Amino acid sequence: MSAGPDGDLSVDVLVVGAGIQGLYVARSLQRSYSVCVLSDPAVTSETLDAVGYVSAGYEGNDAARMQPARRAAGYWRLWAESNGVPAGYAPAHFAVPASEALSRPRLWVDATLQHTRLDGLPEPFAGGSLEGDPVYALGDDVVLNPGEVLARLRDGLEPSCLHGSIVRFVLAGDAAIDHVQVEVGEDMVTIAPRYVVLAAGVGNAALLGMLGKRFRDTSSRRDRLETARTSQAVRRATVVCARGDDLPLVSGWFGGLCIAAQPLHGGGVSWLISAPIDDDQTLLGPDDTRFEPAVPSPVVAGTVERLFAMAPMFEHRAGELQWAAYTGRRVQHPSLAGSAAAQVATPVPAKLETFGLEAFLALWPSHLGYSMILGDVAAERIADALGPAHHGPSRAIAELAAPAAALRSRWDRDDFPWSDWSDFSATHGIK
């Protein structure tokens, strides 16, 4: 990484996005190539909004599609063990509805997913609406703290990380990106990369739109803008959080809800209860990242009611616990984009988009777990394109790099807005 003859910052690979996908790609390439990781500090990290539950596919209905999820979860378990990141602290379970008592375990066998029948439900669910449902321990699902994952992936990359926003892409003809103009603080910086990777999550579509406008050929420009418009599905993921000093570390699938129990750095444990996603609210293409998605109180109230029915302990102790809810974005590449957002089909596990350009990739993993598989594929393509390893001095980027801030998951930050039960229930109309 060096300053070019015109004062540009020359770099082998520019990775846009410092979430799990961008950092994984950058870390995979840093030993062989100069890398710059660019992130917009004004955009909320999709990774840090996640609850940290890496599903191996137990909730799926297609064994062929469950197997890649199983492999992806296994890769992250091994990665965590190799990199000193805690995993497996919140054992995963699945309470199987009576209607699936025979079919779902058979599906798990077909998908080679590890599962063990247990004698009963975990203690918090005693006396609840799931009593009598068969329950299984899941051997392949993994619970991780996304903040700790990002911190480990970023370790050693700090001198290559810039906080800034892209102002303009400049193309060489309509074939490749010549350079990128970036606003870093009060400075305008020109970065001349040999390869560009968009791994900015929800920001990918808007960046593709910005890039598409730079094509000179009218037909190419129109096609690229349409590609950007339908490039991603932005889903609204609402999470209800309950915090207590002695909540048990239990995770899994219960009554249609995904639950991840996470120890908090300030003490105590938070149960993160993910509500089912309503795809009537799914947006195709760019989303306005200046605004946080609204938290739908009816969804929050319905999720809490289901939790109380399944685990009466939470209703009995509601006044002792702290509560919160947020809605994050979950960005995926739709396998088929219908004319209406509600018609988005089930997204594919991951997608790479070349946008018809040389030395360019846009990446969308459909789940945190697929970031490693997609990142390995992308890194291999980039290495094939760039050829032998090359390192330039990193001083130019390091001089602009912002001090590395602590990386904590949204629900683990000191400023996360916890409320007592009376305020929380009043806010969301819970009786």
* pLDDT value of position 394: 53
d(CA 121, CA 128): 10
Would you say the C-alpha torsion 16, 20, 21, 27 has a positive or negative sign?
positive
* pLDDT value of position 393: 44
* pLDDT value of position 180: 97
Q: What's the longest Cα–Cα distance across the chain? A: 72
Q: CA–CA distance from 251 to each of 51, 67, 379 (Å)?
A: 11, 21, 33
Contact between residue 142 and residue 77 where contact means Cβ atoms under 8 Å apart: yes
d(CA 376, CA 417): 37
* pLDDT value of position 335: 57
pLDDT tens digit string along 156-197?
999 999 999 999 999 999 999 999 999 998 889 999 999 999
Provide the residue count of the chain.
Answer: 431
pLDDT tens digit string along 337-372?
333 433 333 445 688 899 999 999 999 998 888 999
d(CA 117, CA 105): 10
d(CA 125, CA 150): 32
pTM: 0.93
Contact between residue 116 and residue 139 where contact means Cβ atoms under 8 Å apart: yes
> Which residue numbers in the chain have pLDDT < 50?
1, 3-6, 336-347, 393
The alpha carbons of the chain give a radius of gyration, in whole angstroms, of 22
* pLDDT value of position 350: 80
Strand ranges for 26-175 from DSSP E: 35-39, 53-54, 92-95, 115-117, 135-138, 142-143, 161-163, 165-172
